[in-house]
Amino acid sequence: MFRKIAVLATIALAAMALTATASAERPADPGKGGRCIAAGVGTLVSLDLIDEAAKGQLDYAPLGSQPGGAGLIRVEFAGPTYLPLSTVIGLHRTSPGLFAWCDGV
């Protein structure tokens, strides 16, 4: 039940992030941001990290591209990195190249 609530909260945050970034520079493919967000949420669900992300308790550093990181996020984190999910969702829209799961969408 909590997982469903977390997924719904994630979708709601995604909608808010899309609204907030509507005035940002438009990408060449405006649909790519939405597809990238969906791929990111799907990745968090498949890695069983969606609940932590929804609560703002996910350390994104293990997903980074620094030595020892999974390389899923193309950022070299210097240490533990906790970001609001709304910020991460916004980055999917404005900078999809940061996320490996956005490559094929």
Residue-wise pLDDT tens digits, 69-102: 999 999 999 999 999 999 999 999 999 999 999 9
pTM of the model: 0.71
Q: Where are the domains of the chain?
A: 2-102
DSSP-assigned states of every residue in the chain: -HHHHHHHHHHHHHHHHHHHTTTSPPPSSHHHHHHHHHHHHHHHHHTT-HHHHHHT--B-GGGSSSTTS-SSBS---SS--B--HHHHHHHHHH-GGGBGGGTT-
In the predicted structure, residue 19 carries a pLDDT above the cut 50: no
